[in-house]
Amino acid sequence: MKGKVLVIGGAGFIGSHTADELFKRGYKIRILDNLSPKTHFGRWPKYLSPKFEKIKGNVKDRKILEKSLEGVDFVIHLAAIMDLMPDYSVFFDTNVTSTALLYEIIVAKKLPIKKIVVASSQFVYGEGRWRCKKHGEIFPKQRVNESLTQKRWDPVCPLGGEKIKPLLLEETHQDPPNQYAISKYTQELIALKLGRLNSIPSVAMRYSIVHGPRQSLKNAYSGALRIFTLQLLNNKPLSIYEDGLSQRDYVSVYDVARANADVLENPRADFENFNVGSGKAYTVLELAHMVAQTLGKDWGFKPTGEFRVGDIRHAVSSIAKLEKLGWKVRDKEEEIVKEYVNWVKEQKLDQDYLSLAEAQMKALGVVKKAAL
Ligand SMILES: NC(=O)c1ccc[n+]([C@@H]2O[C@H](COP(=O)([O-])OP(=O)(O)OC[C@H]3O[C@@H](n4cnc5c(N)ncnc54)[C@H](O)[C@@H]3O)[C@@H](O)[C@H]2O)c1
């Protein structure tokens, strides 16, 4: 046995796969999860191995977290709220305060924790890194609703250049554009700075969009693959925002689980942040077609003329830093889309969570219509 890992949020999508990977590598697993109603149906999911120790509770509860940390060697903190709803304080309370509490308890009780891995996100880059023909490397400011309403989707060169194109995102910068991204970047800072201050090896993982089975169908507020799959299965039009040409990179949950386990085991990862993606760009329309083909439905997709407030134009991560540790992408996006869609077909939903999420996001102004 290599040690015991506490996986906070381990009943979820990335957490459960990470627990499986670590168990396979010889670790004992303890899961702390509150079975959040945004993700779960009020019971432990069946996919969790009976060999895992499970504690039901909130990561924000000091007593529960203290109990969960007893006898543990490593911690992976994946619990979070992660939609674009405007309940800002809830984001910070769950994603940020819980991380601070984790370090506070470890320091106060002098717990012999060997490493902490926290989940950040590619979202922390905001509009990211672009190249301007006239000014070279630039970091455009966040797009404003006034431009998006006029269908001006691309960000602009802050120095007034006219021809700009996106570059791969590297771990050297950040410009979090919304409540979720701010909470994730703050979580990173807490882990890397308080970790160093207290000599607790810590690592922050900037995941790109993660794909694979077990991604909760209940949380239909975000996740293009989940939403397109549900829409196509229900013969609904696809919510393709902006012009459908936004670029993203997708990474399989198995590759993410291996990345989490690799940094946990590698001292060269300590006090660093890492992109975990594929480095390969797909437009949103390309993803929609991939899902449709898998389901044997290929319609002429049209963007809805809407946009999501706080969303970013393009986001494709460089994975060079993580590759230097020996990690490589193994799974192909086409294969993982197939596996996901087949998994969705096997699931039974008690309600139309997709319509509920769509209606709520429109009512709260999270999705807006472009004017032209
Ligand atoms: N899925 C992605 O594409 C993606 C991309 C970038 C970053 N991330 C980050 O990865 C992490 C895991 O995401 P996921 O996709 O597996 O989500 P998920 O919803 O499947 O898993 C999160 C788990 O955390 C639990 N949880 C939530 N609040 C809690 C609380 N207060 N106390 C205890 N448990 C709580 C939930 O019940 C759930 O089981 C998150 O931190 C997220 O920000 C995910």
pLDDT at 59: 97
Residue 308 near residue 242, CB atoms below 8 Å: no
* 159-163, 297-301, 313-317, 326-330: least confident range: 297-301
Per-residue pLDDT, averaged over 173-193, amounts to 95
Q: Which domains does the chain have, with CATH numbers?
A: 4-369 (3.40.50.720)
Answer whether residue 7 shows pLDDT above 80: yes
* pTM score: 0.95
361: confidence class by pLDDT, cuts 50, 70, 90: low
Which atom of ligand 1 is least distant from the CA of 118?
41
Per-residue pLDDT, averaged over 121-127, amounts to 96
Q: What is the DSSP string of 86-111?
A: S-HHHHIIIIIIHHHHHHHHHHHTT-
**Cβ of residue 212 lying under 6 Å from some atom of ligand 1:** no
Give the C-alpha separation, 163 to 133, whole Å.
Answer: 6
pLDDT at 234: 86
Give the C-alpha separation, 205 to 118, whole Å.
Answer: 6
**Cβ of residue 39 lying under 6 Å from some atom of ligand 1:** yes
Question: Hey, how many other C-beta atoms are within 10 angstroms of the C-beta on 242?
Answer: 21
How far away, in angstroms, is 206 Cα from ligand 1 center? Answer: 13
pLDDT at 369: 72
**Cβ of residue 94 lying under 6 Å from some atom of ligand 1:** yes
**Cβ of residue 36 lying under 6 Å from some atom of ligand 1:** yes
- Give the C-alpha distances (Å, rounded to integers) separating 207 from 40, 213, 220, 322, 326: 22, 16, 19, 11, 17
pLDDT at 161: 87
Per-residue pLDDT, averaged over 152-172, amounts to 94
Answer whether residue 325 shows pLDDT above 80: yes
The listed range with the strongest mean pLDDT (27-31, 143-147, 310-314, 355-359) is: 27-31
**Cβ of residue 80 lying under 6 Å from some atom of ligand 1:** yes
Answer whether residue 45 shows pLDDT above 70: yes
pLDDT at 321: 98
pLDDT at 338: 95
How far away, in angstroms, is 219 Cα from ligand 1 center? Answer: 11
pLDDT at 329: 98
217: confidence class by pLDDT, cuts 50, 70, 90: confident
Mutational test site, ligand 1, from 101, 210, 312, max ligand atoms within 8 Å of CB:
210
Residue 59 structure tokens: 């990561």
